[in-house]
Chain A
Amino acid sequence: MEKRELTCIGCPMGCQITVELENGEVISVSGNTCGIGDKYARNEVTHPERTVTSTAIILGGDKPRVSVKTASNIPKDKISDVMKEIDAAVMKAPIHIGDVVVKDVCGTGVDVVATRNVEAI
């Protein structure tokens, strides 16, 4: 049996939650004081996800960098691979909010998109 300790992010209480797992299945969740904690803990131990935000190089624009994000959450263990693909991308101005910077990043099915406008100069 595996035990995982988590801090709930559902609210400022920050309950310390203990999850017990058997062969990857959640057996028990304890330490939470509401349903949000239970849901958070189960997601977090079985398929933790994050949105990644960063910047990409852009050429010929009124700014040297364009800020970007994954259009939705990606698996947490892919964060550093996603960063590598974002770092390898070189964009050309103009680019606008929502424009795709990396399509289907790391095979996650999620696009990396621009979060600000950079105009050509």
Chain B
Amino acid sequence: MTNYDIVIVGGGPAGLAAAVSARKAGVDKILILERDKELGGILNQCIHNGFGLHTFKEELTGPEYAYRFMEQVFDMKIEYKLNTMVMDISEDRVVTAMSREDGMYQIKAGAVILAMGCRERPRGALNIPGYRPAGIFSAGTAQRLVNIEGYMPGREVVILGSGDIGLIMARRMTLEGAKVKVVAELMPYSGGLKRNIVQCLDDFGIPLKLSHTVVDIEGKEHLTAVTIAAVDNKGKPIPGTEERYTCDTLLLSCGLIPENELSRNAGVEMSPITSGPIVNESLETNIPGVFACGNVLHVHDLVDYVSEEASRAGENAAKFINGQLSESKGDEIEIIATDGARYTVPSTIDVGRMDDKLTVRFRVGAVYKDSYVSVYFDDERVMHNKKRIMAPGEMEQVILLKDKLAEKPGLKKITVKIEAE
């Protein structure tokens, strides 16, 4: 068994940023394990622009953004292994991996950083009635086929779900000569960014039907048509509103799920809301020395926030292996998300271990206009920030200061909620 100071599972944006920051913090033996044949993760297929406005103050495409971090990994001579699948992570941080080249092997890690990302919700999880012909893809699969492999999945397209990947693919397929007939969204609002609705749908005259879903799929060998219908406020299709679209391709953009099989097997405690690990202020899971960052922790809206979060995970993993991350004294403050705030990351704070400033990220469960993000220390309201708009598609944040928390010894819980006034 070989030994590494830090083993990072996943070489996408989170894994790369975590590796770079751990090396900057002085960690010598770092290993990134990546299952694909190249580093960069999903960014490699996200060839559209709009990445990096926060991190680099310029608009980059996905591959360019990834390369900014890959370059640093190469320059710092951080080790990585491609085509390598991690099979198991044990509670005492033994990582079992395998690849064609090296077979199955084990690594003892001083700290482990989980950076496996997320995957798309598949058809099987959506309960769409109808046949199961060829021609139904997740939006991300189609994105990989078009942008990396150079294949077009089809010529006449219907898209279910208006997440950003679906919107981006509506434009991409159109530019490559396909006819995108309609985008149907179950919810009364789109989960995608406004900019994408305008530049990917409106620019090309593609209709977006809110509160609509697919109720039938036709075609025995290959997809021939889908039927969509309006839904009521409980999400139930309304009879009589059906519209049939002939098409050869149905793309699904119906949400992302953190990929946590490894975490669960390792005994990492999970949040039922985010489907990601429950972490403390150091982005550490319930297993000491096992950290999580990026979309495996919670699905992010912007990669810039992934990089920032992953950098913190890398720094904290460095502190852990150097014995600078003090042991918990069991007096953590719990952060509770309620009244419109669905969850927070992190879930607990140990004031002794926190940095001077801590960014707490969360998402809201519905669209809120002219409302307030409020933070309570026990029962006392300490923050009350007006927001013109909050939507489920965008992450929100509050920043907590160590000084302020230190003034409140004995504080048990911090509550984050949305208030009308």
Contact with B along A72-113 (1 / 0, CB 8 A): 000010011001000000000000010000000000000000
Q: A11 with B389: in contact, given A51-B49, A55-B150, A76-B203 (CB under 8 Å)? A: yes
In the complex, what residues of A have CB within 8 A of residue B48's CB? 53
Contact with B along A19-44 (1 / 0, CB 8 A): 00000000000000100000000000
Question: Are the CB atoms of A11 and B194 closer together than 8 Å?
Answer: yes
Question: Are the CB atoms of B148 and A65 closer together than 8 Å?
Answer: yes
In the complex, what residues of B have CB within 8 A of residue A60's CB? none
A-B contact sample (20 more), CB < 8 A, given A9-B195, A55-B47, A116-B67: A9-B194, A12-B394, A13-B389, A14-B197, A33-B388, A53-B49, A54-B47, A63-B148, A64-B148, A65-B147, A67-B61, A67-B63, A67-B147, A76-B203, A79-B203, A97-B64, A115-B60, A115-B61, A115-B64, A116-B64
In the complex, what residues of B have CB within 8 A of residue A64's CB? 148-150
Contact with A along B123-162 (1 / 0, CB 8 A): 0000000000000000000000011111000000000000
What is the total number of residues of chain B having a CB less than 8 Å from a CB of chain A? 31
In the complex, what residues of B have CB within 8 A of residue A65's CB? 147-150
Interface residues in B36-78 (C-beta closer than 8 Å to A): 44, 47-49, 59-61, 63-64, 67
CA distance A76 to B390 in the complex (A): 30
Question: Are the CB atoms of A9 and B199 closer together than 8 Å?
Answer: yes
Question: Are the CB atoms of B388 and A13 closer together than 8 Å?
Answer: yes
Kindly state whether residue B325 has any CB partner on chain A within 8 Å: no
CA distance A12 to B198 in the complex (A): 12
Q: Which of A12, A52, A68, A79 contacts B194 (CB 8 A)?
A: A12
In the complex, what residues of A have CB within 8 A of residue B44's CB? 116
Q: Which of B49, B194, B393, B394 contacts A69 (CB 8 A)?
A: B49
Q: Which of A12, A68, A116 contacts B193 (CB 8 A)?
A: A12
In the complex, what residues of A have CB within 8 A of residue B197's CB? 7, 14
CA distance A55 to B198 in the complex (A): 22
In the complex, what residues of B have CB within 8 A of residue A67's CB? 47, 61, 63, 147
A94 to chain B, nearest CB (A): 14
Question: Are the CB atoms of B63 and A7 closer together than 8 Å?
Answer: no
Kindly state whether residue B391 has any CB partner on chain A within 8 Å: yes
Question: Are the CB atoms of A51 and B59 closer together than 8 Å?
Answer: yes
Kindly state whether residue B232 has any CB partner on chain A within 8 Å: no
What is the total number of residues of chain A having a CB less than 8 Å from a CB of chain B? 30
Q: Which chain B residue shows the least CB distance to A96?
A: B67
B265 to chain A, nearest CB (A): 34
Question: Are the CB atoms of B199 and A50 closer together than 8 Å?
Answer: yes
Q: Which of B64, B176, B203, B391 contacts A50 (CB 8 A)?
A: B203
Contact with A along B283-306 (1 / 0, CB 8 A): 000000000000000000000000
Kindly state whether residue B243 has any CB partner on chain A within 8 Å: no
Question: Are the CB atoms of A7 and B61 closer together than 8 Å?
Answer: no
Question: Are the CB atoms of B59 and A55 closer together than 8 Å?
Answer: no
Question: Are the CB atoms of A53 and B47 closer together than 8 Å?
Answer: yes
Q: What are 12 contact pairs spanning A and B, CB under 8 A?
A: A7-B197, A9-B195, A14-B197, A50-B199, A51-B49, A53-B48, A64-B148, A67-B61, A68-B47, A115-B47, A115-B61, A116-B63
CA distance A33 to B370 in the complex (A): 12
Kindly state whether residue A117 has any CB partner on chain B within 8 Å: yes
CA distance A80 to B177 in the complex (A): 10
CA distance A97 to B391 in the complex (A): 35
Kindly state whether residue B1 has any CB partner on chain A within 8 Å: no
In the complex, what residues of A have CB within 8 A of residue B194's CB? 7-9, 11-14
Interface residues in B147-204 (C-beta closer than 8 Å to A): 147-150, 175-176, 193-195, 197-199, 202-203
